Structure 1
Amino acid sequence: MDRINFTNIPNTNSENADIDTVKKKRKNSGDVQDLQLKNKKWKHWIPKNISFIENTALLKPPENFQKTIWELSDPNFYGKMRIQKSTFLFVENLIQKDPVFLNDSKNSQIDVRFQLFIALYRLGCSSKKTSISMIANEAGIANGTVSLYTERVLTALNNVAQSYICWPNTLEKKKISSIFEYNHKMKNCIGILTTTQTILSQRPAISTTKYKTSNGSYGVKSLVVCDNEKYIRFLSNLYPGSEMSETMWENSLILNNPDRYFTDDLHIVSTFQINPNKNAVYLQKIDPYSNESYKLTPREIEERDAQVDYISNIVSETLLLWKNRWSSLYKIKKQLKKPEDFQKIESWIMATAVLHNIACEHEGNWMGE
């Protein structure tokens, strides 16, 4: 079919333009066969602006996006991908042979690198700064493709989660406990137990009240155990936002399988109140007017307060480092419509925890905004 000549079409923005006039103009130019206004699909369609049609061809193809991102300066790449180029290459090499990137069809997938670019870009962006459509437009792909690539990368990262979110081994336990004891006389401590909450941007369509948090928003919660070097050593399954922290702990694998996590007199300390046992202790500051305060010396009270401040700082720094780097955790743009959606959110959070530990190992603190 010949290319449509738009030069004789009147330039108008009105959706009530005279179609008969357009037909006559096109008939005079010999292009009447190209005019499909009788087709129901195009019945009310008239080109509004030639420049709009021309601009659609200016979208950057994927290969240009990939080249542009990789050639960014180190600070700009770091700000966009949230990790350094060397760390990016490590992650790419880690996941590139995952089965999720293999097709049963003859058509091969686009480069794993490109898909990782898209996923990291999305994981690192807060809902205030960007959206799927903005990423899709910048990358020159469809909105659905952004979601597809992200889910593939999340799957691959979840498949290696057991290697990167793992309980400390014997040597690590010895090292961690010695640091806790050296810094604040916290003998035999190998980690800090806390909870973290992730807000959902949309009201869940299922079990709505269960996901309502104490501040009125909707979200999910999980248990986290971190160590003194800000590594996430344990991340539980998700719970609805209204779930009590104590209930989450009572159902946790750590409490119900202590032999798997603890040896000798080793234990963790908790930032929230739990029923004490030999493997988990709730640590809180001493109330100067409580009966306990009369049993301790001023020095012992001061040491306890310092211990509480120490573990609070570790937890705060760990969660801030995790969420500031992967800013999507501040408000995940997912709506719970069916059980599979809950699993996708769980996969999202777990993948960012894997990336957090990898970045801690290769880079240290997040140096972004």
Structure 2
Amino acid sequence: MPRETERQKTTDELMELYLFNLLLGLGTESSDSSDSESDTNSDTSSSTSSSGDSEFAHLVGEGVIGMLKELWKERYQEEMREIPKTDINLQLLLTVYKTTWADIFQSYLRVTPSCFDALHETIKEHPVFHNNSNHPQRPVDEQLAIALYRFGHYGNAAAIVKVALWAGIGYGTVRDVTIRVMTALCDERFRRAAMPWPDAAQIEQAKLWVEGHSCSAWRDGWCMVDGTLVPLFQRPHHFGNTFFDRKSNYSMNVQIINMPDLRIIDYGIGYPGSQHDATAWKSCRIPNEHNQLLGSNEFVWADSAYPLKSWCQAPYKEPESLLDNNKTHNFHVSAIRIRSEHCMGYLKGRFSSLRDLRLRIDKQKDLTFACLWIASCIHLHNFALHHSNNTNPETDQFFIEGQQLMLQECREQAEWAQTQMDIGEDDTLDIEERVELIEGRLKREELKERLLEYLAERNVQ
């Protein structure tokens, strides 16, 4: 439940006193009426006492009402104290650090100075940053810096109070600034610019990468999908139990579809952490527009959690007689699918708020805000990847930080898997899902055979 203020507690206590006094007064009047009917010759002192009790109850009620009026007369109970603030830190970051100490600037805002300038030029003309008020907004570059600082930090460092004191602005201004920047980043035009569907040349480059890490028969699987959990710092009050995931945390399920170059081309957000990846995947664009986006022979790499059709394959187990073939097959599949973990690690390594989302989810509006927060980070990931000065993402400091995070998540996943019982196919699957599983297995068998043929021919040569 939301936190109860001291004023609300005092109000509840006064209301209980008022109701108790009211019931006591009604009980006294009822007793007086009963006594007058049973004994018309009652003593005068008794009548005087009853009259005094009624008058006292009336005075108590008036006193309680007066205290409630006084309690709610002012908006704030405590005397306002001015907190000294300064924007020197923010100005120092945007001037000296930006031009002289790029590494310090990048550690604060999680993007390079050149990427920051490009992002500022892209969104500064958005209508959300312009109004006709007599009190103009802060400069767009300052608003962008504050939002990026929040996206790139987690835990206490991302608390509104800490951000406000660091930037020298009000607590409410921090949220207003973040909302404006998120509005610009989630605008349809910016989303299309940051996440365009890859052209033929980019798809061919991705296919060449897959072919180089496997065989020519696998080159049509040029993208991969996987799910990740974005932990929440507290239990949501909006259907909170549904956010409880298998790791005993409250989280949100995020589906990421990326290419080998770590660029995200599609995503799915909005589902709670308890939701299965196969269900969350269906909210993405690719499974709903497969015929328009992918060719007839193209497919998506995924793990066994996805009961998909023939365009999605994963490592699997077979009888002991084919164990060696399984190891060969799974080794090459893992070499391709590892790019999903690399992408998610890069995303969380750069925008650390996704490691522990410090947002209260008390109603539907708060859930929408959290989804837009995640979407903003994904759009920024693509934008920063495109404008990065580093041509090799794997040497980026955020990529390295993300890999350490993903290794920890993999260890936790392995520990969780060891505690689970080995079970067969889920009996709760409907007919359509069972057909998808069978089609996927048939396609997997075909790809496995073609891989083994390719490796055998290469060994002969």
**Shorter-chain TM-score: which interval?**
0.7 to 0.9
Alpha-carbon contact 1:286-1:305 (below 8 Å) kept:
no
Partner AA of 1:111 in structure 2: P
Question: Match of 2:109?
Answer: 81
Which residue of the partner structure matches residue 318 of structure 1?
343
8 Å Cα contact 1:196-1:223 kept in structure 2 = yes
Structure-1 residue corresponding to 2:435: none
Identity percentage of aligned residues: 23
Aligned counterparts of 1:241 and 1:43: Cα–Cα separation in 2: 40
Task: Find the counterpart in structure 2 of residue 180 from structure 1.
Answer: 210
Q: 1:347 aligns with which of 372, 385, 391?
A: 372
Q: Within 1, Cα distance between the matches of 2:379 and 2:210?
A: 24
Of 59, 73, 86, the residue aligned with 1:60 is 86
| Aligned with 1:281 (options 307, 312, 316) | 312
Compared CA separation, residues 167 and 266, structure 1 to 2 (3 A): same
Counterpart position of 1:99: 127
Counterpart check, 1:307 vs 2:338: no
Q: What is the rounded CA distance, in whole Å, between the counterparts of 2:223 and 2:128 in structure 1?
A: 34
Contact map agreement 1:184 1:303 (CA 8 A) in 2 = no
Matched, 1:230 2:283: no
Structure 1: distance between partners of 2:80 and 2:114? 51
Q: What is the aligned partner in structure 1 of residue 362 from structure 2?
A: 337
Give the drift of 1:333: 1.0
Change in CA separation of 1:340 and 1:306 when aligned onto 2, cut-off 3 Å: same
C-alpha deviations, 1:305-337, integer Å up to 9, x for none? 222321342122111111011000011111211
CA distance in 1, matches of 2:219, 2:335: 14
SS in 1 for 2:278: helix
Larger radius of gyration: 2
Q: Distance in 2 between matches of 1:265 and 1:360?
A: 29
Name whichever of 192-201 and 129-138 sits farther off. Answer: 129-138
Q: Which residues of 2 match residues 28-47 of structure 1 at below 5 A? A: none
Provide the C-alpha distance between the structure 1 equivalents of 2:249 and 2:193, rounded to a whole number of angstroms.
34
TM-score using structure 1 length: 0.78
| Alpha carbons 2:226, 2:303 under 8 Å: kept | yes
CA contact (8 A) 1:225 1:234 kept: yes
Which of these residues, 327, 330, 338, is aligned with residue 352 of structure 2?
327
TM-score, normalisation: structure 2: 0.63
Other structure's SS at 1:357 match: helix
Shift of the alpha carbon at 1:65?
A: 2.4
Structure 1's unaligned 5+ residue stretches are 1-39, 48-52
Provide the C-alpha distance between the structure 1 equivalents of 2:198 and 2:287, rounded to a whole number of angstroms: 16
SS at match of 1:225: strand
1:68–1:325: structure 2 CA closer, same or farther, 3 Å change rule?
A: closer
Q: Residues 1-369 of structure 1: matches in 2 within 5 Å?
A: 59-61=85-87, 65-72=90-97, 73-159=101-187, 160-185=190-215, 186-278=218-310, 280-287=311-318, 289=320, 293=322, 298=324, 300-363=325-388, 364=390, 365=393, 366-368=396-398
Aligned length: 315
Contact 1:161–1:350 under 8 Å retained in 2: no
Alpha-carbon offset, residue 145 of structure 1: 0.7
Question: What is the distance in 1 between the residues matched to 2:145 and 2:159?
Answer: 15
CA distance in 2, matches of 1:46, 1:288: 73
Higher RCO structure (Cα 8 Å, ≥6 apart): 1
Q: Is the 8 A contact 1:226 1:234 kept in 2?
A: yes
Helix, strand or coil at the partner of 2:138: coil
The two structures, once aligned, show a CA RMSD in angstroms of 2.7
How far apart, in 1, do the equivalents of 2:93 and 2:312 lie? Answer: 51
Instruction: Tell me the SS of whatever aligns to 1:237.
Output: strand
Q: Which amino acid aligns with 1:118?
A: I
Provide closer, same or farther for how the CA distance between residues 188 and 113 of structure 1 changes in structure 2, counting only shifts above 3 A.
same
